[in-house]
Chain A
Amino acid sequence: MATDTSVVAPKAISMADYKGRVDPDWCPGCGDFGVLAAVQKALVELQIPKHEVATISGIGCSSNFPGFIETYGMHTLHGRALPVATGMKLANHAMTVLVTGGDGDGFGIGCGHFVHAMRRNVDLTYIVMDNQIYGLTTGQTSPTSRIGMKTKSMPYGNIESPLSPVALALAAGATFVARGFSGDQKHLTELLKRGIEHKGFSFIDVFSPCVTYNHDNTFQWFRPRVKKLEDNPDYDASDWNVAMEKSVIWGEEIPIGKFFERTDLPTLHGAEPVLSAGPLVHQNNRIPADVAKTFIEELM
C-alpha cells in the first residue's frame, strides 16, 4: 500500500509512485539520499504525474540520480546534461524537465553549458548535488573545493579559488536561484517545489556532503553554518544586487534559501513562435501543400 506523505489532503499521486526500481548505490550516509527524497516529495506535493517528468543527468555519483526515481530518465555525457535537457525541452515542452548532477559535472566540464542554459532561460530545474569533490572518480578536487583542501589530485592542498555557483548563476541571468542543504529536508523540498513551478531556468545548488571523500565539508560542518534567507522577513528575493551580495558570503555563516527570482522574462520555448501551437513532438509536422509549393519555387 502506498503511503501518502504529502501535507495536502489525500491525493492520487504518492511517494510510492516516484520510488525508483533500482535502490541507490550511494555510500551509506551520502547527502544525495536526502536530495532524492526531497525531489520525490516535491513532485508528490505538486501532484505532477510521473509520465510528465523527465530527469536528465551527466556523469558522477549524483548523476546516477535518474536511475533511482520513477520518471523518464536519461543518463548522458559527463558535463552535457543541460544541452541534452535543452534538446528534450524544445522537443516536448509539456514535460517537467529536471536536470541532476554534481559540482564537477556542472561547474567544471559542463560550466560553459551552465552559463548558456541560464542565458537562454530554458525552462529546466537544475539541481546540483554540490559536495565540493569528485565523488565517482574517488576524491579529486572540484571547482567548489575550498582553498587548502587536500585531495588525491591536490595532495599539498588546493591552491585555486573555488567558484560561487550562486553568484555565477545570478551573473549569467538565471531567473530563479536558490541554495539548499540535504540536511534540511523540509526547507529543500520547499525550494524544489518553487523551482519546479518557476517558469524559466531554476537553479538549486544543494550542499550534499560526500561522506567518503570530503572530510572537510561534512553534515556537521554545514549544520551550524547554514542560515535561511527566509528567516529574515525583510529579505527581498527580487533584488538582484542584494542576492549578489549574499551569494559570496561563506564562512561561519552561509546563506541558504531562495536568493533571487524574476518572472518577467519569457522562457526559451515561450519565445519560440513555432512552439506556440504546442509541443513539437505532438505537432503535425507535415508541410502544408501551399507552403511546400512556395518553398520549391524559391529553391528553383
Chain B
Amino acid sequence: MRQLCKGNVALVKGALLAGCRGYYGYPITPASEIAEAAALYFPQVGGTFLQAESETAAINMVYGAAATGLRVMSASSGPGLSLMQEGISYLAGAELPCVIVDVMRGGPGLGNIAPEQSDYFAMVKGGGHGNYRNLVLAPASVQEMADLTILAFELADKYRNPAVVLADGFVGQMMEPLDLEYREVPQPEKPWAVKGTPETRGNLISSIFLEPDGLEDHERKMEAKYLRAQEAEPRYEMSYTEDAEVLLVGYGIVARIVHSAVEALRRQGVKAGLFRPITLWPYPSKALVKAAAHVEKVLVVELSNGQMVEDVRLALNGKVPVEFYGRGGGNVPSVKEIQEQVLGRVAAAV
C-alpha cells in the first residue's frame, strides 16, 4: 500500500512488520514521533509500549525484554543515546539482539534540535565501554526508514547483537511516499532465550566472565561473528561511478543532495559519481576501494566536522586524495554549494 508518511512513523510501521512487540522509550526531539507512533500502534497489534523515566531505564527495559527472545526496540536522539551507551555495551556483551534508533540532532551537549550527522563516532565506533560493535544502518529516505528497520531486526537476530538505525533529523521528520506490503517476516528460533519454559530453564544471559581465559574466549567468539558480518553484510549504493573522475561519498540525507549535485555536475561536463554507504558498520570498504580505483579525488560530505571521512581514508589508505566538506548546526549544504566545492577545489585538479 502506498501512503504519504513521516520518516519516524514509517520506522515504527517497519518495526511492527518485523514482528517487534516491545517498545521502551523516552521523548526527545526530533525522535519523539517514533515513541508517539509506537504508543499508538503497538497496542493495536498486541505489543506493549512503555514510556520510561529516562533513556537509561529504557535501554535496560530493552535488555530485560530482549533476553526473552522478543523483538524489542528503543529510539532516541543524541543526548538520549549518550545515556543508553552503558546498556548497549551490556546488550552486546550478553549477545542480545535489539534495535536502537538514533535520529541525530545537533551536538555536543544540548546542541540544538536541528539535524546533524554528528553521532557517527558514538554509534559506529562504539561509545559504550569494551570490545564490541554495533551493526549500523543509515536510511536516506522514508521508505528506507521502514525497510532498514526490518533489516536491522533480521541482522540483530542473525548476529545476536544490537543493531542501530542511524538516521538524521531530516529523514526522521520529512514526509514522502511509503510502500508497505503486509508480509510475514520470519523470526529465527532462539534457543538461548530465557522464556520461562522447561526447555530454556538452564539458559543464562550474562556479560560477566571473571576468568581471563573465559572472557578472552568470549571476546574472540564475538570478534569472529563481527568478521563474518564484515564479509557478508556491507551494503551500499552507487551512481555514475563507472567513468567517474571525482567520487563523492555521503550517507543519509546528504547522499540525496549529493546525488542531485552529481547530476548537475554531469550536465556541466564534470564526471562525478556518488558512493552511498548503507551499512556504516560493517563499512563497505572493499566496494569503496573498487569505486575509487580510477578516480582522481574523493570528496566526503557530511553534516558534521568530519567523522565518516576517517573510515573513507582508512579504506582508501592513501591511494586517492580524500577531501572533506561539512556543515553543522542544522545547516545543510545546497546542491549548488556541493557543486561549487567540487568545481573549486576538486575538479580544478581533474
Instruction: Give residues in A with beta carbon < 8 Å to B.
Output: 59, 75, 77-79, 108-109, 111, 134, 137-138, 140-141, 143, 152-156
Contact = CB atoms under 8 A, between A and B. Distances in A.
| Best-surrounded residue of A59, A79, A152, A156 (most CB of chain B within 10 A) | A152
Given A108-B53, A109-B26, A137 B32 contact: yes
Interface in B137-156: none
Given A109-B26, A140-B27, A156 B51 contact: no
Given A77-B110, A78-B79, A156-B43, A140 B54 contact: no
B36 A152 contact: yes
B60 interface: no
Interface of A is mostly: loop
Nearest to A145: B51
Contacts of B27: 134, 137, 140, 153
A152 B55 CA distance: 18
B32 A109 contact: no
B39 interface: yes
B53 to A, nearest CB: 5
Contacts of A134: 27
Contacts of A156: 43
B29 interface: yes
Interface in B1-45: 26-29, 32, 35-36, 39-40, 43
B40 A155 contact: yes
A77 B54 contact: no
B53 A140 contact: no
Given A109-B26, A154-B39, A77 B32 contact: no
A155 to B, nearest CB: 5
Nearest to B29: A137
Most chain B C-beta atoms within 10 Å of own C-beta, residue among A134, A138, A153: A153
Nearest to A137: B27
- Nearest 4 Cβ contacts at the A-B interface: A109-B54, A137-B27, A140-B27, A108-B53
A79 B43 CA distance: 29
Interface residues of B, number: 18
Nearest to B53: A108
A155 B110 CA distance: 28
20 contacts: A59-B110, A75-B110, A77-B79, A78-B79, A108-B53, A109-B26, A109-B53, A109-B54, A109-B56, A137-B27, A137-B29, A138-B29, A140-B32, A140-B36, A140-B51, A152-B32, A152-B39, A153-B36, A153-B51, A154-B51
B101 to A, nearest CB: 16
A210 B171 CA distance: 30
A48 to B, nearest CB: 29
A140 B33 CA distance: 11
B28 A137 contact: yes
A180 to B, nearest CB: 24
Contacts of B32: 137-138, 140, 152
Interface in B173-204: none
B36 A108 contact: no
Contacts of B29: 137-138
A77 B53 CA distance: 15
A141 B51 contact: yes
Contacts of A154: 39, 51
A165 to B, nearest CB: 14
Contacts of B79: 77-78
Nearest to B26: A109
Given A134-B27, A152-B32, 12 more contacts: A79-B54, A109-B56, A111-B53, A137-B28, A137-B29, A138-B32, A140-B36, A140-B51, A143-B53, A152-B36, A153-B27, A155-B40
Contacts of A59: 110
A108 to B, nearest CB: 5
Nearest to B39: A153
A153 B110 contact: no
Nearest to B25: A153
Contacts of B49: 153
Contacts of B28: 137
A78 to B, nearest CB: 7
A144 B36 CA distance: 19
A175 B16 CA distance: 49
A218 B56 CA distance: 31
A235 B321 CA distance: 79
Contacts of B36: 140, 152-153, 155
A134 B27 CA distance: 9
B228 to A, nearest CB: 38
B180 to A, nearest CB: 21
A79 B83 CA distance: 12
Nearest to A142: B51
Nearest to B41: A155
Contacts of A152: 32, 36, 39
Nearest to B49: A153
Contacts of A79: 54
Nearest to A76: B110
B54 A153 contact: no
Contacts of A140: 27, 32, 35-36, 51
A143 B52 CA distance: 10
Contacts of A138: 29, 32
A109 B79 CA distance: 12
B6 to A, nearest CB: 14
A156 B41 CA distance: 11
